[in-house]
């Protein structure tokens, strides 16, 4: 595919909701140059404000955030923004968190630590 063809493709918007700067930076590095428009917020309050103005195709959602649990936020997302795909990311009690996150409506669950391939494969699967 030529560079002009790549540039002409509409970039998919992805929102990262993550309070740890190093994890956010890692996700940015992993997804850079993949025809994805990445945005970042560090808590659920800022995520709600962002969603009032923007419509991402996908959210990478951490579970433990300063103002609540991402797991609980999934229900808000599914009720108010049913078309947004959700990748839940957590390292806290992975078996229980995974089960609840998927029951609440997350499309994919990634356990920390995750690999570049796991992140990219999950994002590609949900955006295509």
Q: How many domains does the chain have?
A: 1
Counting every residue written for the chain, the total comes to: 128
List the domain range (segments joined by +) for residue 98: 12-127
Q: Is residue 2 in some structural domain?
A: no
Q: Give the DSSP H or E segment for 62.
A: strand 58-62
| Residue 43, token pair as written in the block | 């808590």
Q: Is residue 19 in some structural domain?
A: yes
CATH number of the domain encompassing residue 89: 3.40.50.2300
Q: Is residue 114 in some structural domain?
A: yes
Q: Is residue 6 in some structural domain?
A: no
Give the pLDDT of the chain (128 residues) as one tens digit per residue: 444 344 435 789 999 999 999 999 999 999 988 889 999 999 999 999 999 999 999 999 999 999 999 999 999 999 999 999 999 999 877 788 899 999 999 999 999 899 999 999 999 999 98
């Amino acid at each position: 595919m030529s560079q002009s063809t790549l540039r002409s493709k509409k970039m998919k918007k992805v929102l990262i909701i993550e309070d740890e700067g190093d994890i956010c930076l890692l996700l940015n590095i992993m997804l850079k140059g993949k025809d994805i428009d990445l945005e970042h917020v560090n808590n659920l309050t800022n995520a709600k404000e962002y969603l009032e103005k923007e419509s991402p195709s996908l959210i990478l959602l951490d579970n433990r955030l300063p103002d609540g649990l991402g797991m609980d936020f999934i229900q808000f997302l599914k009720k108010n923004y049913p078309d947004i795909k959700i990748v839940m990311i957590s390292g806290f009690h992975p078996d229980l968190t995974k089960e609840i996150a998927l029951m609440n409506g997350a499309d994919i669950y990634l356990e920390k630590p995750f690999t570049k391939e796991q992140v990219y494969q999950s994002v590609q699967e949900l955006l295509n």
